[in-house]
């Protein structure tokens, strides 16, 4: 839940990077809240709770998606490419600093001197 509030605290911040955890936990809690509000709308005959919530989190959803694209060293415009953006959202971010900022995990860059065997690339 901390990731959800962290994204909301950076409401319209499109610069920087977002980890996979930050992105996917935000999406998970966003979906849970939207479903609960949709059920409440249906239960009480309302037609606005889920719609208002969706509009309220539209900008943070786009912003965290753009920051996620930045984490894999891609432009935020990659967010509009179907399926490829899903792949990018699932892979690990660039180690070390990239064009969009510091590594949110605090890892150093991974150079040729760090390479020992193929299993080192996994993790």
Q: What is the pLDDT of residues 54-84, one digit of tens each?
A: 999 999 999 999 999 999 999 999 999 989 9
Report if residue 93 sits inside a domain: yes
Report if residue 116 sits inside a domain: no
Specify the pLDDT at position 112: 46
Please, which pLDDT band fits residue 118 given cuts at 50, 70 and 90?
low
Specify the pLDDT at position 113: 45
Count CB atoms within 10 A of the CB of residue 37. Answer: 18
What is the tally of structural domains in the chain? 1
Report if residue 63 sits inside a domain: yes
Specify the pLDDT at position 119: 57
Q: Which domain holds residue 81?
A: 2-108
Report if residue 35 sits inside a domain: yes
Report if residue 117 sits inside a domain: no
Q: What is the mean pLDDT of residues 87-95?
A: 92
Average pLDDT, the chain: 89
Report if residue 96 sits inside a domain: yes
């Amino acid at each position: 839940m901390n990731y959800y509030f962290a994204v909301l605290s950076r409401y319209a911040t499109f610069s920087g990077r977002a980890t996979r955890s930050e992105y996917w936990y935000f999406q998970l809690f966003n979906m849970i809240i939207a479903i609960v509000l949709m059920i409440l709308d249906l239960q009480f005959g309302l037609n606005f709770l889920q719609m208002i919530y969706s509009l309220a989190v539209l900008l943070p959803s786009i912003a965290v998606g753009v920051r996620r694209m930045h984490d894999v060293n891609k432009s935020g415009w990659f967010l509009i490419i179907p399926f490829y953006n899903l792949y990018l959202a699932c892979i690990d971010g660039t180690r070390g600093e990239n064009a969009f900022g510091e590594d949110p995990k605090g890892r150093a860059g991974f150079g040729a001197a760090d390479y020992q065997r193929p299993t080192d690339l996994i993790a």
